[in-house]
A and B are shown apart, each in its own frame.
Chain A
Amino acid sequence: MMELLTFPPVFRGFISLMAAGICFPLTGIFILRLNLLNMRFMLMHGVMLAGAVALSFSMDPLLTAMGINLFLVLLITIMSRNSSMPTGVLTTFFMVLSVGVAMTLIYRSKVPVQDTMGLLWGSIFALTARDNHLLLLFCAVILLFVLIWYRQIGAVLINPETARTSGVNEPFLFYAIMILTGLTIAFAMRLVGALLLDALVLLPAMTAVYFSKSMKSMFLTASVSGFIFSLSGFFLALIFDIPVSSGVILVGGVIFGLTFSVRFLYEKYK
């Protein structure tokens, strides 16, 4: 089985998945804590729009997805911070708009619908060497962001207002968090697809939030869980000949379910 790793697409996929497994759950913590679940859903539709744009105009799907998600996330953040309009309303509006524009493009440019939908599945083995480099660079950016601004990020996640009064540059960190979230969704869609993206981004973060008592242990647990889910899911997929994304979500789901049950029983009968 290990000889499969000698094939460049498999090796690239493996390296990308491990890097994403370690770093993407850190963004998952931002999504959970800042209640960006709606935003993430809208960004998934943004990637679908990017697919339609990329196929219609023969553009690179990953770069287009990154560009469109970046645009959407900045637009919504600026609008929500400078008006009294709730973020939920804005994300729903742009989600519907993205699908509408995507469908119009697909119809007008006669792109086969299944090609656009195919982008929603993602595949770690379809990554090009450039995609792989971009992903590794992006993972390094997430890690550095968390390491350099760890305390300030913590203050913003706890309470943005008290963070501001303690001298934290809250607007900068909030925009940075939103940008990283937008790009994470774009990369995760390419890696594991829309349907299983949460296995890579949210499940390890949920595990960490649920089982940690301090912020430091939460960030560490999220990264370690993401790495374990990805590594085990990858080899499970190779052994049982199933999609890697399914392998990751199966491992993550089972581990989360087991630990949740053990803790539930412990708290009930201790």
Chain B
Amino acid sequence: MMPGKTIINIENLSVQRQGRVVLENISLSLKCGDTALLTGPNGCGKTTLLRSIAGFLPASEGRITLFGKFNSSREWKKQCHLLAYVPQEELISPFPVSVEEMAAMGTAGLKMSRAERQKRTEQALKDTGCWEMRQRSYFSLSGGEKRRVALARCLGQKAHLLLLDEPLSYLDTKARKSFIAVLEDIRKQYNITILMVTHTENELEEGSWSRFHFKDGLIEHTQGVRL
């Protein structure tokens, strides 16, 4: 991706859910390689914003542009794999799936040869430190390992924009540090734009992340904070 290119541009976005206004007049912009945190109290609309960007929730007002295309347009749908979304829980109820299969899901919607698919999945598993556990059942993994497998799925997809919804929640310090180390590595290696909802800020690399903080329905933007 070209450095400096606008990846996300949100203008005056409002979103309603079941008649209730959850987001009102939100504007936000991220350029290629930017990394930002979405912070704020519970229920302020952080997850709603991520889901709106991903196209799961329609905007009642305003618009979201991703890589120069409206996120509800046909043109965007043809290249929607450029965005990868990691929900709080990837797989809620037990279901037999191996780590390798889970990571390969990132390439499920892309046309490519079997060899290319395997190569991409293998590289993604290695980049995230999941290669050794590829044969294991996904449900036998710890919380931190599951989050790293989710990153492997995004890398296999070759996404240029990651939307991560509270990936650090419920992880102990060691697992958080391990996840953040992998995230920083892939960010530097692939120049990926990242927007992450989190409550845990002080373990991220100093100055490399900016922050969008929800407060009283408005967003405060702080550049290069100690994150």
Which residues of A approach B to under 8 Å, CB–CB? 33, 84, 151-152, 154-155, 157-159, 161-169, 208-209, 212-218
Contacts and interface: CB of A to CB of B under 8 A. Distances in A.
A19 B196 CA distance: 49
Nearest to B163: A165
A165 B54 contact: yes
Interface residues of B, number: 30
Given A159-B87, A212-B96, A165 B108 contact: no
A158 B105 contact: yes
A151 B104 contact: yes
Contacts, number: 89
A33 B91 CA distance: 11
Given A162-B84, A165-B80, 7 more contacts: A151-B104, A154-B97, A155-B105, A155-B108, A164-B55, A166-B157, A167-B110
A194 B91 CA distance: 32
Contacts of A33: 95
A166 B95 contact: no
A161 B87 CA distance: 9
Interface of B: 18, 54-56, 80-81, 83-87, 90-91, 95-98, 101-102, 104-110, 136-137, 153, 157
A218 B90 contact: no
Contact of B91 (A159, A168, A218): A159
14 contacts: A84-B18, A151-B104, A154-B105, A155-B105, A158-B97, A162-B84, A163-B108, A166-B81, A166-B105, A166-B106, A167-B109, A212-B96, A213-B96, A213-B136
Contact of B87 (A84, A155, A162): A162
Of B87, B95, B96, which is in contact with the most chain A CB atoms at under 10 Å from its CB?
B96
A151 B98 contact: no
Most chain B CB neighbours (cut-off 10 Å) among A162, A209, A212: A162
